[in-house]
Amino acid sequence: MNKLHKKRYLKLESYLNRTTNLKFPSHLLPKVGQFCRNLNPRSLRARLTVGIAVVAAVGMGSLAMWISWKMQDILVVTHKQSIKYIGERLPQEVEIYSDMMSMEKGMQKAVNNLTINNTLLWIRDTDGAVAAQSAQLKASRKLNYLKTLSDMPLTPKVSEVKGGYWILCGSPLMVSGEKMGTLYIAQDITEDQVMFMSMIRSLGIASLLTIGGLTVAIAFYIQRSLQPLQRMGQLTQNISADDLGEAHIHLDNAPSELKELAQTFDEMLVRLHQSWEQQRQFVSNVSHELRTPLTVVSGYLQSTLRRGNNLTQPQREALEIAGSEADRTIQLLQDLLDLARVDSGHLHFNLEPLVLNDLVQEIAEMARQYSNRVIQVESPNSDIEVKADTNRLKQVLLNLIDNAVKYSDSGQPVTLKLDYVGEWGRIQVCDRGNGIPLQHQARIFERFYRVDDARARSTGGCGLGLSIVQTLVEGMGGRVTVRSQLGKGSVFSVTLPIN
């Protein structure tokens, strides 16, 4: 390699080494760690990041491979041109020197003239004996192994010989049209090859660091670009049926496509709100219109039963069934009306301080009369005061006691427990029934949800009682929960804020 090429290679290697020694800013490491922990492999952000990173890696890798190939090609071509020049020049000089001296001395003189750094020449005559050789071959025994090589290529070729890299070439030596033997040329490129491999490693490390840096930069850019979508997801997460009319998606500094999507989503929310309001109004109107005539029908049925002394037994049973179903339907309509009032915001609560001890005793006495069951009350000696609506709380507790009575054996008592839980007053309705399966406990407060449809029909349930209980308790600022085990019964807990 000539001095100009070597100087350029040294500059390139120095630049690459400086590049590979760059350190990632330490203040960004926590952000990178947090980003990696939050990265979901199935998310759009991950897919875009991986896709662009792969494209960048393929592009950088292809560029690095092309640069490596071109650098090696330049290195080898430069040496091959030097060997080719020697191969063409030596026969001419042998011919010139042979006119002034013997052929053997002319060969040696030509070999000496054309021997340069790291390039060795030797000539074998037609008998295979060495007729001339470079001075280095004579002085160094370590290089004698080169003269033992056979089957050298006619064109220069890079070969690895005893841990070193050489460009070897062997061609017939023709002087004045007569073959005088064979010319062998060996050029040592080990130093250049080692330097080339070092640069390739540096280039590879620089490429990897560049790909890593690009990946991190792309990931952060994509994360920032997808923030409007994340914001949109967060806004829609908190939208409930009650918020449909007021919910709007506001995206500032978002791309036009996302703004169009947000606008379309707002229009959809408006349509949903209108449909929901129509459904609420329909339920409310139907419940109100049907309750009055059914109440009249129930009244006539009860009156007929009281005065019908001439009724036969089948007629009396039929009227009793009709009256029972009418009463159940009236109760269902009343529940639907209550829910419709809550949904429309027309159900108001008269919250005032009250003592739970007295109220629960009163409700327990009422429950004993209509259920003929043992209703126990366990309360502390001190009064438990909460802030609630008396009538609504009575409705809640009667619903829970009614459920406990329906779904437990007649010989088992229903227990009401009172106590404090932190800043809350708590009422527990405990039964010893069959219990509620775990997979149903999270859904029993949903409207029209029933654990066992067959059993619900036999007990007259319609799946609205617990939904109304939850609605009323939450309307008073409290909460209701359930804890149940199969075969051991259920415990419904109502907690209300302390006055």
Write out the chain's pLDDT in tens, 499 residues: 445 445 544 554 554 455 444 444 555 555 555 555 555 666 666 777 777 778 877 877 787 788 777 777 776 777 788 878 888 888 888 888 877 888 888 888 888 888 877 888 888 888 888 888 887 877 777 677 777 776 777 778 777 777 788 888 888 888 878 888 888 888 887 777 777 778 778 877 887 888 888 888 887 887 777 777 777 777 777 777 666 767 777 777 777 777 788 788 888 888 887 777 777 676 666 666 677 787 887 787 888 878 877 888 888 888 888 877 777 777 777 777 776 766 666 677 889 999 999 899 999 998 888 888 889 999 888 888 999 999 889 889 988 998 888 888 888 899 999 999 888 999 999 998 888 888 888 888 887 777 665 444 445 555 678 888 888 898 899 999 999 988 889 999 999 998 7
Cα 372 to Cα 13, 367, 376, 409: the distances in Å are: 97, 8, 13, 12
For residues 463 and 447, the answer to whether their CB atoms sit within 8 Å is yes
For residues 49 and 35, the answer to whether their CB atoms sit within 8 Å is no
H/E element holding 180?
Answer: strand 178-188
Specify whether the backbone of 420 is left (phi greater than 0), alpha (psi in -120 to 50) or beta: beta
Length of the chain: 499
The two three-digit tokens of residue 114, written as one number:
């054309």
DSSP-assigned beta bridge partners for residue 425:
420, 496
Q: Exposed, middle or buried by CB within 10 Å (0-12, 13-18, 19+), for 163?
A: exposed
CA 389 – CA 249 distance, rounded (Å): 37
Which of 137, 140, 157, 152 lies closest to 183, judged by CA?
152
